[in-house]
Amino acid sequence: MQQYPLLNFTKELFPDIDLSEVTILGVHHILEVVEHLLEIFYDKGLRRENMYLLGKCYSTSKLIFNNIDVNGVFISPLGYTFDSHESFDIQYNKYIKDFLQEAKKARKGRLQQNYNYG
């Protein structure tokens, strides 16, 4: 994995931060730098099941998508969808709304499962 000096620097700015009770909803490029950023978040306590991502069709690496997805992060498949007969911005605005509903439903299901089964 490539090194990212600026990310490593910012990690050191907050050495004692605890992300164990944080949930992140992200609309971002699913590229190697994001995988590295997530590793920093995990090192700071972020639980993978509290991470929800929507990629972008033009900047989503299938390899990184699979690496992140395998690790328990919720990644919406909408990030791969594109209709060349419609404006990207119009489509993506709809995808963001759908993603937020998906994430809400997934989060509710995960919370319910934790409540029912400890």
39-55 residues labelled b (16+ CB within 10 A) or e (exposed): ebbeebebbebbbbbbb
Q: Which long-range contacts (CB under 8 A, 24 or more apart) does 111-116 make?
A: none
Compute the distance between CA of residue 43 and CA of residue 41 in angstroms, rounded to an integer. 5
Tell me: pLDDT of 118 over 50: no
Helix axes 5-13, 32-43, angle to 10 degrees: 20
pLDDT band at residue 111, thresholds of 50, 70 and 90? low
Structural domains of the chain sorted by starting position, each given as residue range(s) with its CATH number in brackets: 5-117 (3.40.50)
Q: 117 pLDDT exceeds 70?
A: no
pTM: 0.79
